[in-house]
Structure 1
Amino acid sequence: MAQQFRLNRRDLIRAGGFLTLSFGIAGNRSHATAAEAVKLPGDLEDTPLLSAWIRIDADETVALMIGKVELGQGAVTAVAQVCADELDIDLKRLRTISGDTALVPNEGVTAGSQSMPNCASAVKQAAAEVRHILLQLAAEKLKAPISSLKVEDGTISGEGESKITYWELVTGRELERKATGKVKPKDVADYKYIGTSVPRLDIPAIMTGQALYIQERRPDGMVHGAVVRPPTYKAKLKKVDTSKVGNMPGVLKVVRNGSFLGIIASRQDQAYDASSALAKVAEWDVENDLPGDEGIFDWLLSAPTRDEEIMNETAGAPHTPSRVFEATYERPYQMHGSIGPSAAIATLSDGGMLTIQTHSQSVFETAKAIARMLGLDPAKVRCQHIPGSGCYGHNLADDAAADAALLAMEIPGKPVRLQYTRPQEHKWEPYGSAMVVKTRVGVDDRGDVLTWNLELWSTPHGTRPDGEPGNLLSARYLAKPFAMPMPKNGGPPNYAADRNAIALYDFPAQRVVTHFISEMPLRVSSTRSLGAYANVFAIESTMDALAHAAGADPVEYRLRFLKEERARDVLKSAAQKFGWDQWRKSEGRGRGIGFARYKNLAAMTAVAIEVEVNRKNGRIRLIRVVAANDSGQTISPDGITNQIEGGVIQSLSWTLKEEVRFDKTSVLSEDWKSYSYPILTFEEVPPIDVTLINRPGEPFLGTGEAAQGPTAAALGNAVFDATGVRFRRIPFTPKRILAGLKA
């Protein structure tokens, strides 16, 4: 399970006009000699050229270039902390460039909580090797042994008054070398920034109202775009009269390409008005074949599947169980519901270069997909990541980039800004897949697990562009449409639909089967934690039910089967911080706990929740939440805490309220209203207390998606403790709670 998931990389680094001029072309490392064949950490293995990551600039600053991007998770700041520490420079000297396909290493998609293990570890080694090279150069210049040199904020001092700076040492191609993997990073005790809560680099711009987000950008000469979506997924445009719309105020161009309809106008309101008018005169062929939100779980269980047994360890079962427990858990479609509707700005230059500013998490793959969609040389499409106001997972960011590009091709030299409306964002984004998870567990006379069986049914959790135009929404509606490629389920160790479906507990026998459904009634892709949210909810709810059936304390019961010491520490830490042993039950109140190690290889998180359930109206009041987390060596305590808190809040919202509504024709959820797609409000958010377990010297572990599953399970377990009724269908709406209490 130690093997890290790898993405294909394209390593093309262009940096001109600086002290270090580098062209880093990915090479085949199979020709390396045995002496050179050292496994490099994280993404450094795919882009070993040091100058691709770090540049010493003439203005006495250092440029850090990374392919991972900032989504609000604080990753860019954390990686900058690592770089500054290993280089021995003040953080203020560091300038970070991220997610620009023309300038940075291709680190694939910023997803799966892989920024810390793959990017931070790569930067740690790269910076250590750059520092070593600079010390070697200084030793030659100062005629002193390396061991006698000291570095402070980029100034290397020798004996007496002798000193020299990084900026005096690098005058050409000194960093044009590949990493060796043989330079030892600094000792933990010598770090200044790692392990401290450095203010996030993007906070000043946010707090002072600067145009940080793509939704706020207004470049000179900008025009506005808008698109007309079909009434349903499979609808085809029969006919449309564009003449009147073309004469509306401010309209510069009406664009039709097959079933794709777009508007380019001088102002945003004019673009929206024209697109609304265009939608009214368009005639479509509409299909009517969706199962509806109430029929989706029956549909999942009856749909054709590709079955895979991802675990089968049965040899340890000592004898026949004395009792068998079976349960079914259901998760509906759930959306990202990004607060800021997705947006992008695309500009086609006179020289034919298409530059797209986007909040996509997959800038390299999206650039390639857009190039193929437009029939352009991939070298002519550049994506620059700009943070988006609300983006965690595969929402409409890539589609906005593609739509802006389609319109920009029609009006060269003008930046085309496109931002979707709220209904478009809600109804057309790729959702988190609906799932059914079934558990069947055999126990002995004491209630201990003998045989553990889990089966899950799910549609895909990954349909990002990945270089494929067919995964861009509008590409399917063009006159020469691109077919959506057959979706695949991710394999080990990260998995996708079956992420965290293998329980971390040490059972005598465990079998896990994935029933993967490639057909998609609704468009789906990656939402935070993928299948782990539903799988951990099912596993931890089942563990809680088994504990209660055995008359055992839920924490003690889990510890019977949880052998990994660090995992045990996390579970016990959460229970202790919650006051589990001192807690006393009162009328209508309950407590619950949930645990998981994300992907069974990333951060370990336990969540304990106290709730109050109103038996008259079915409402659940969140009293408090306590979480404990082990993310390996902590880079930024505040950053990790923010990720756990954010994950808890999002999971509480999913588990209490969120469900995409749709009928047999189309999606009905198009806003935040209670009957459409409500989310947790500020006043409903409980106090959240996070305890961090730091492991200095251990690898960095991804944290961004670690809290989703444990939170859902802890909430369900707390509701059971308060009511005596086990709820297995998400979300726990007042209507469902009342129905369960009356059953």
Structure 2
Amino acid sequence: MDGMIERRGFLKAAAAGGGMLVAFALGGAPRGARAWAEKPVATDEVDSFLAIDGEGRVTVYSGKVDLGTGVRTGLAQIAAEELDVPLARVAVVEGDTALTPDQGPTYGSLSIQNGGVQLRQAAATARQALLREAAQRLGVPAEGLRIEEGVVIAPDGRRASYGELVGGKAFRLKLDANAPIKPPEARRIVGRAVPRLDIPDKVFGTFRYVHDFRLPGMLHGRPVRPPALGATALAVDEASVRGIPGVVRVVHQGAFVGVVAETEWAAIRAAGELRVRWSDWAGLPEQARLWEHVRATPVAQRQVTSERGDPAAAIAAAPRKLSATYDFPIHTHGSMGPSCAVAEFRDGRLTVWSASQATHNLRKQLALMLGMPVEQVRCIYMEGSGCYGRNGHEDAAADAALLARAVGRPVRVQWMRADEHGWDPKGPPTLVDLRAGLDAEGRVVGWESEAFIPKGAGGNVDLAAAELAGLPRESQINPGNIIHNLATPYAFPAVRTVCHRLETTPFRPSWIRTPGRMQNTYANEAFLDELAAAAGADPIEYRLRYLPADDRRGREVLERVARLAGWQTRPSPQRERGGEVLRGRGVSYCKYELTRTYVAAVAEVEVNRRTGEIRVTRFLCTHDCGQIINPDGVKAQVEGNVIHTLSRTLKEELTFDRRAVTSLDWASYPVIGFPEVPEIVVELIDRPNERPWGAGEPTAAVVPSAVSNAVFDATGVRLRSVPFTPAKFRAAAAERGA
């Protein structure tokens, strides 16, 4: 291929049998793959992303992984489209540090926006190279060739398949940023609804999750966690579990304690019966005084996220001044299936099978923890419970690695429910103070907000096992990029938004779906609704008044959601509020990170003014994420955002005492049930000439404020504290005299 394709040893396995690669894609990572750099993984090489075997089958190598969101299908569509091959001939290998490029963690709604765009450019580069090779072989100009289902066809009908052109060889090409991608009118797969590739196996129970993975000679491990987060194991009575058949070893290092057994049941019994004498610790704040604790926490940095004019002076001079404080509690990830991982040491190397959303980062963390060269660690992604943020998957992997090193055999660690709720990292508490001034006509003359959030960004979250065992770790807190969307998308004449970045936070923090963007949008959009009500203005018209004149896409999602909901223009709250059950509607809007995906939503609610119960009956959403790869996939993501975030808005809140988490099961940490799911109506805005943006997070940002605004519309009661429980509504109503 003009010298750009040559045979390589790393593709012998692909040429010999695509079945191995297909097995990878279905979740069963081949145990025999022992080379730790089997192929290029640099993000600027075509071979890092694609391989084509002798039968013309395409294997996609993705550093982004499918956490249950359908990303696997979207990536396959992108490759199939640009290469003109049937979707059924594309397999996807995800998150294997020896095979896939490091495209960053799977978070931030960036899998398609960044990872998919990289893959598309690799496929477009490969397509151009294949056309050049075919032109040379067939003796015709490349411009006269066409491609159908992986076969290059000359004007006279002569053919050259991909398998004949490149099968079993490497491209040896850099990604060409100028390689043309297919125009919208030529696309046959991208932009079309395609059934998810993983659903049939999941429906029929044949899909292999990481929980199903087994190795010969594998043992089972369980961590034994301290009863207090900062406690240390002073003494471990190994004799207390010697009578349990199958117990292999008790591992104790600092505050890390674990058991290893021949069977899972023996490990469960041993973890429950092992006698440990723990030190005392009571370093958590009182939950009832959480917000006092947040305000009293030392500030590490004052971060101004937007500033225009002199809002303080404008507010001071305004004839009407409003202020409010909104808070959002500590949340656990609450993955339905507890975390699981398998670790194996062999020949001085460590292999870990994990559902981590960041296998390349996990690899570095495990190497640091264990004092190993990173080249001797391999992490292989296998799908597990959905996480929507950094939950316990990485911690289970660290547990498994420590236990496997101690016993010299492969170890599978399966967390229990109390491990998951008690020890996964948490979404930190968020507190936002807002102030604004209105002129005599109800126009905003100044806006100020101050958020109290922990320092840190989207880096690695320390491994619990490393911290407990006193092993090397990064020793930083990273709650995610939680400053986003405190700055508003509205063109107020004077504005200042400030984040007080706190030195500490009560629990080990990590990002949970829509980190910061949800909490900040909730405060902004609910407070803006308060201003609209004070001005006697319709909430949608009030928003449109302040959107920048050139923000055409923001204006469109708001206008379209109004039509979708049959919105009747009027101020909130509604005037007629008789009867026990009151009904209302609320709107919310978000331009995600003020740079991408536009979302507008209307929530419709019923509120029982006697019991305080809030029920969302209908949720309507317009969504613009640019070019849509798979509309069914995007719609499913929007619906999932709504359901998940309604659970967080109406029900979820971590409880704790001075020593540890106390909400260790579904009774103490309730989540939304099927009967509580509202009717969800989604209208997607496809822009095939634009770049694709993410859909996994943005809709979540508008849910809490839309519900708060709807409750206010129905009852005149403003809820400023998530979750919106019946008790909180009754208290707010009593305070208002409603």
TM-score, normalized by length of structure 1?
0.90
Structure 2 equivalent of residue 307 of structure 1: 302
Amino acid at match of 2:165: L
Supply the distance in 1 between the matched residues of 2:119 and 2:648 (Cα, whole angstroms): 35
Amino acid at match of 1:155: V
**1:709 CA displacement:** 2.1
Match of 2:321 among 300, 321, 324: 324
**1:571 CA displacement:** 1.1
Match of 1:524 among 505, 509, 521: 509
Supply the distance in 2 between the matched residues of 1:277 and 1:464 (Cα, whole angstroms): 37
SS at 1:17 equivalent = helix
Conserved? CA contact 2:538–2:569, under 8 Å: no
Once structures 1 and 2 are overlaid, which stretch shifts more, 81-90 or 703-712? 703-712
Supply the distance in 2 between the matched residues of 1:417 and 1:23 (Cα, whole angstroms): 25
Q: Does the alignment pair 1:729 with 2:721?
A: yes
* Residues 479-513 of structure 1 deviation map (CA, whole Å, 9 limit, x = unaligned): x43355233676xxxxx221211101111111111
Supply the distance in 2 between the matched residues of 1:497 and 1:136 (Cα, whole angstroms): 47
* Residues 117-168 of structure 1 deviation map (CA, whole Å, 9 limit, x = unaligned): 1111111111111001000000010011112111011101102231111111
Supply the distance in 2 between the matched residues of 1:23 and 1:681 (Cα, whole angstroms): 46
Supply the distance in 1 between the matched residues of 2:696 and 2:456 (Cα, whole angstroms): 17
Amino acid at match of 1:465: N
Conserved? CA contact 1:246–1:254, under 8 Å: no
Supply the distance in 1 between the matched residues of 2:88 and 2:77 (Cα, whole angstroms): 10
Structure 2 equivalent of residue 535 of structure 1: 520
Supply the distance in 1 between the matched residues of 2:12 and 2:592 (Cα, whole angstroms): 41
Q: How does 1:479-558 map to 2 (within 5 A)?
A: 480-482=470-472, 485-487=475-477, 496-558=481-543
Judged with a 3 Å threshold, the aligned counterparts in structure 2 of structure 1 residues 449 and 145 are, in CA distance, closer, same or farther, namely same
Supply the distance in 1 between the matched residues of 2:64 and 2:288 (Cα, whole angstroms): 39
Supply the distance in 1 between the matched residues of 2:597 and 2:713 (Cα, whole angstroms): 27
Amino acid at match of 2:352: I
**1:218 CA displacement:** 3.5
Amino acid at match of 2:556: D
What's the % identity of the aligned pairs?
39
Supply the distance in 2 between the matched residues of 1:604 and 1:461 (Cα, whole angstroms): 26
Supply the distance in 2 between the matched residues of 1:183 and 1:308 (Cα, whole angstroms): 41
Once structures 1 and 2 are overlaid, which stretch shifts more, 219-228 or 508-517? 219-228
* Residues 649-676 of structure 1 deviation map (CA, whole Å, 9 limit, x = unaligned): 1111111111101111211110111xx1
* Residues 609-633 of structure 1 deviation map (CA, whole Å, 9 limit, x = unaligned): 1111111111012211101100001
Supply the distance in 2 between the matched residues of 1:15 and 1:347 (Cα, whole angstroms): 25
Supply the distance in 2 between the matched residues of 1:483 and 1:348 (Cα, whole angstroms): 20
Structure 1 equivalent of residue 704 of structure 2: 712
Conserved? CA contact 1:497–1:516, under 8 Å: no
Supply the distance in 2 between the matched residues of 1:401 and 1:139 (Cα, whole angstroms): 50
Q: How does 1:391-470 map to 2 (within 5 A)?
A: 391-412=387-408, 414-460=409-455, 462=457, 465=460
Structure 1 equivalent of residue 468 of structure 2: 477
Structure 2 equivalent of residue 347 of structure 1: 344
Q: Does the alignment pair 1:126 with 2:122?
A: yes
Supply the distance in 1 between the matched residues of 2:412 and 2:193 (Cα, whole angstroms): 36
Q: Does the alignment pair 1:226 with 2:211?
A: no
SS at 1:652 equivalent = helix
Conserved? CA contact 1:237–1:282, under 8 Å: yes
Judged with a 3 Å threshold, the aligned counterparts in structure 2 of structure 1 residues 132 and 451 are, in CA distance, closer, same or farther, namely same
Structure 1 equivalent of residue 192 of structure 2: 196
Conserved? CA contact 1:439–1:454, under 8 Å: yes
SS at 1:294 equivalent = helix
Supply the distance in 1 between the matched residues of 2:634 and 2:456 (Cα, whole angstroms): 25
**1:593 CA displacement:** 0.7
SS at 1:600 equivalent = coil
Judged with a 3 Å threshold, the aligned counterparts in structure 2 of structure 1 residues 483 and 147 are, in CA distance, closer, same or farther, namely closer
Structure 2 equivalent of residue 379 of structure 1: 375
Q: How does 1:263-278 map to 2 (within 5 A)?
A: 263-278=259-274
Supply the distance in 2 between the matched residues of 1:390 and 1:23 (Cα, whole angstroms): 29
Conserved? CA contact 1:353–1:380, under 8 Å: yes
Amino acid at match of 2:331: Q
Structure 1 equivalent of residue 145 of structure 2: 149
Match of 2:565 among 554, 564, 578: 578
Supply the distance in 2 between the matched residues of 1:525 and 1:135 (Cα, whole angstroms): 46
Conserved? CA contact 1:396–1:428, under 8 Å: yes
Structure 2 equivalent of residue 43 of structure 1: none
Judged with a 3 Å threshold, the aligned counterparts in structure 2 of structure 1 residues 667 and 461 are, in CA distance, closer, same or farther, namely farther
Structure 2 equivalent of residue 655 of structure 1: 649
Judged with a 3 Å threshold, the aligned counterparts in structure 2 of structure 1 residues 16 and 52 are, in CA distance, closer, same or farther, namely farther
Match of 1:604 among 574, 577, 598: 598
Once structures 1 and 2 are overlaid, which stretch shifts more, 681-690 or 352-361? 352-361
Amino acid at match of 1:148: G
Conserved? CA contact 2:453–2:501, under 8 Å: yes
**1:689 CA displacement:** 0.5
**1:16 CA displacement:** 5.0
Judged with a 3 Å threshold, the aligned counterparts in structure 2 of structure 1 residues 218 and 436 are, in CA distance, closer, same or farther, namely same
Supply the distance in 1 between the matched residues of 2:305 and 2:438 (Cα, whole angstroms): 22
Judged with a 3 Å threshold, the aligned counterparts in structure 2 of structure 1 residues 535 and 141 are, in CA distance, closer, same or farther, namely same
Q: Does the alignment pair 1:559 with 2:553?
A: no
Judged with a 3 Å threshold, the aligned counterparts in structure 2 of structure 1 residues 315 and 141 are, in CA distance, closer, same or farther, namely farther
Match of 2:53 among 54, 57, 72: 57
| Structure 1 residue ranges without an equivalent (≥5) | 1-12, 27-45, 491-495
Match of 1:642 among 614, 636, 640: 636
Structure 2 equivalent of residue 36 of structure 1: none
Q: CA RMSD in A?
A: 2.1
Q: How does 1:346-365 map to 2 (within 5 A)?
A: 346-349=343-346, 351-365=347-361
Once structures 1 and 2 are overlaid, which stretch shifts more, 661-670 or 575-584? 575-584
Judged with a 3 Å threshold, the aligned counterparts in structure 2 of structure 1 residues 634 and 92 are, in CA distance, closer, same or farther, namely same
Conserved? CA contact 2:596–2:693, under 8 Å: yes
* Residues 530-585 of structure 1 deviation map (CA, whole Å, 9 limit, x = unaligned): 11111001000011111111111000000001121101111111111011128997
Supply the distance in 2 between the matched residues of 1:65 and 1:174 (Cα, whole angstroms): 14
Structure 2 equivalent of residue 682 of structure 1: 674
Judged with a 3 Å threshold, the aligned counterparts in structure 2 of structure 1 residues 568 and 139 are, in CA distance, closer, same or farther, namely same
**1:105 CA displacement:** 0.5
**1:246 CA displacement:** 3.4
Conserved? CA contact 1:460–1:524, under 8 Å: no
Aligned residues: 696
Conserved? CA contact 1:476–1:484, under 8 Å: no
Structure 1 equivalent of residue 161 of structure 2: 165
* Residues 294-324 of structure 1 deviation map (CA, whole Å, 9 limit, x = unaligned): 2111111111012122221116999642222
Amino acid at match of 2:691: P
